[in-house]
């Protein structure tokens, strides 16, 4: 793991502006660690809720006397019709309010400008020299322009997804799809990647038209940024990294998997875990290697009740030990108790209502398979843990992450979910993934059916090799380590070499 760079970048001061939800905040904080490990100073701007979520992590970094600070600004959620404390996307109670959330968030622009202004007059830390901003915070484009500070976008997805989106958007092939043959083949890719109209990413999906104006702002603000920082590693998707570099005139830096920056602090990533690390590890210690099904569908998903029940019945009937992470929700808790599910599976099932120490869980050799929604962070974390996947994509980049995992890398078994479900609309879709299919997929990945053994071993071997490559990429001299160095040198040249003018 890259700890200390030979070259120190003491003069660089990065302003990090993450989007407000766990899947975007967590990798940005990991990036902050990497930056300070390379000698840069980092200021992270966030809200009080997120500051409490990341403080343990920041404290650990500070204890090692690295240079990082968290600046908190309140967002006036009530003024925008959001419930009190609604400072994170997963807390927004309905799809209609996502718009209000985005607008409320954009009001951070003014305090951020004041922060930069104030900082200009200070000796310590040095003035802010670069901005690294989540792609969803499109309004930071104005800030960067105003202060003429180079702006990098953090896009928390894969290069493959970015190339696919680019090619779809440019070719508009999805506009001519017939009902009789809804298959879309993404043009000009290293692999034949097909999808149906109903799996289109939300930016292009008619079901998600309500937020189209934001998509447009996000797209244009990305185009004017200096470059893109990606949580991926070149060995994972080399052909797509090359393609994406072509699209972005080389200004792409794969610096991940950033979760590997955590070293031993994995119990503290994101929210506070709802289960003691010890009891989680004790449960896992009691099962043989590669035998436990780990189920976590990310921080944003709310399954429709019928789908939730279908999943429960699948876990019950397949007889494997499992850890099932789900959102805190009284009605789900009630169903699990009243239906008898909890009682019937208590010997082999660990249910976590709330936040699980996911990266830590992946580090245990009892985990045999990860049933995942294919969020990019989760996908990478499973790869780093050498854990094969069962894929259940639901929206955004998840269908393409599935293609990478199943079709290209051969480290997963797909459930066959067919429809991208816009966030907040899950109840409309019922139980589209059937229990028999879930059971069959689990059997295929960790069961001992004779016919599947070869494929099972191949999957495990392939993901094990990728885990090794991931680790190497982050070590001194590895591809991601070097990319981080190149990025910092580039930023230094831009900031202290000649005056920077953004377009």
Residues that bind ligand UDP (CB under 6 A): 22-23, 26, 269-270, 296, 298-300, 325, 355-356, 358-359, 375-378, 381
CB of 89 to ligand UDP, least distance (A): 9
| CA gap 227, 154 in Å, rounded | 9
CB of 219 to ligand UDP, least distance (A): 20
325 vs 491, beta carbon nearer ligand UDP: 325
For residue 324, what are the β-bridge partners? Answer: 295, 351
Helices in 339-416 by DSSP H: which ranges?
A: 341-345, 358-362, 376-385, 398-402
Taking a C-beta distance cutoff of 8 angstroms, is the pair 235, 159 a contact?
Answer: no
23 vs 478, beta carbon nearer ligand UDP: 23
314 vs 325, beta carbon nearer ligand UDP: 325
313 vs 351, beta carbon nearer ligand UDP: 351
Sign of the C-alpha dihedral, residues 476, 489, 57, 98? negative
**Cis peptide, bond prior to residue 178, ω within 30 of zero:** no
Pull the structure tokens for residue 25.
Answer: 């905040």
Q: Which residue is nearest to ligand UDP (CB)?
A: 23
| CA gap 378, 197 in Å, rounded | 25
39 vs 375, beta carbon nearer ligand UDP: 375
For residue 185, what are the β-bridge partners? Answer: 194
Sign of the C-alpha dihedral, residues 74, 75, 81, 84? negative
CB of 222 to ligand UDP, least distance (A): 19
CB of 471 to ligand UDP, least distance (A): 17
CB of 448 to ligand UDP, least distance (A): 29
Classified as helix, coil or strand, 455 is: helix
320 vs 355, beta carbon nearer ligand UDP: 355
Taking a C-beta distance cutoff of 8 angstroms, is the pair 168, 194 a contact?
Answer: no
CB of 463 to ligand UDP, least distance (A): 16
CB of 268 to ligand UDP, least distance (A): 10
Q: What burial letters (b/e) apply to 87-104, b meaning 16+ CB within 10 Å? A: bbbbbbeeeebbbbbbbb
| CA gap 107, 76 in Å, rounded | 8
CB of 43 to ligand UDP, least distance (A): 22
325 vs 441, beta carbon nearer ligand UDP: 325
Taking the C-alpha atoms of 239, 245, 251 and 255 in order, what is their torsion angle to the nearest 10 degrees? -10
23 vs 388, beta carbon nearer ligand UDP: 23
């Amino acid at each position: 793991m890259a700890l200390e760079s030979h070259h120190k970048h003491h003069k660089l001061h990065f302003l990090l502006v993450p989007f407000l939800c766990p899947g975007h905040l967590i990798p940005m904080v990991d990036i902050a660690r990497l930056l300070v490990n390379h000698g840069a100073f980092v200021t992270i701007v966030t809200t009080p809720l997120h500051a409490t979520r990341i403080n343990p992590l920041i404290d650990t970094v500070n204890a090692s006397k690295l240079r990082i600070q968290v600046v908190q600004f309140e967002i006036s959620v009530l003024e925008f019709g959001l419930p009190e404390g609604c400072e994170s996307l997963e807390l927004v109670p309905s799809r209609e309010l996502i718009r209000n959330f985005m607008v409320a968030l954009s009001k951070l622009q003014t305090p951020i400008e004041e922060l930069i202004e104030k900082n200009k007059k200070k000796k310590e830390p040095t003035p802010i020299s670069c901005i690294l901003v989540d792609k969803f915070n499109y309004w930071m484009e104005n800030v960067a322009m105003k202060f003429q500070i180079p702006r990098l976008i953090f896009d928390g997805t894969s290069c493959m997804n970015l190339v696919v989106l680019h090619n779809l958007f440019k070719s508009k092939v999805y506009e001519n799809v017939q009902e009789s043959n809804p298959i879309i083949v993404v043009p000009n890719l290293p692999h034949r990647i097909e999808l149906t109209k109903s799996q289109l990413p939300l930016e292009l999906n008619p079901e998600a038209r309500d937020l189209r104006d934001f998509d447009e702002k996000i797209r244009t603000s990305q185009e004017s940024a200096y470059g893109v920082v990606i949580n991926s590693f070149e060995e994972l998707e080399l052909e797509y990294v090359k393609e994406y570099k072509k699209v972005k005139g080389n200004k792409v830096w794969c610096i991940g998997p950033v979760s590997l920056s955590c070293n031993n602090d994995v119990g503290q990533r994101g929210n506070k875990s709802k289960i003691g690390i010890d009891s989680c590890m004790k449960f896992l210690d009691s099962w043989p290697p590669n035998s436990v099904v780990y189920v976590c569908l990310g921080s944003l998903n709310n399954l429709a009740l019928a789908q939730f029940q279908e999943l429960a019945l699948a876990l019950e009937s397949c007889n494997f030990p499992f850890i099932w992470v789900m959102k805190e929700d009284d009605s789900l808790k009630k169903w699990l108790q009243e239906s008898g599910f909890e009682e019937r599976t208590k010997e082999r099932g660990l249910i976590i209502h709330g936040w699980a120490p996911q990266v830590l869980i992946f580090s245990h050799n009892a985990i045999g398979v990860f049933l995942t929604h294919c969020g990019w962070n989760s996908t990478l974390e499973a790869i780093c843990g050498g854990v094969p996947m069962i894929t259940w994509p639901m929206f955004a980049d998840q269908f393409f992450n599935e293609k990478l995992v199943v079709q290209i890398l051969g480290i997963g078994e797909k459930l066959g979910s067919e429809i991208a479900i816009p966030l907040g609309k899950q109840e409309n879709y019922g139980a589209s993934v059937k229990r028999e299919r879930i059971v069959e997929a689990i059997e295929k990945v960790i069961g001992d059916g004779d016919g599947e053994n070869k494929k099972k071993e191949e999957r495990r071997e392939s993901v094990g090799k990728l885990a090794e490559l991931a680790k190497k990429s982050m070590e001194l001299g590895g591809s991601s380590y070097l990319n981080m160095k190149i990025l910092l040198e580039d930023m230094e040249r831009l900031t202290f070499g000649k005056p920077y003018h953004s377009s």
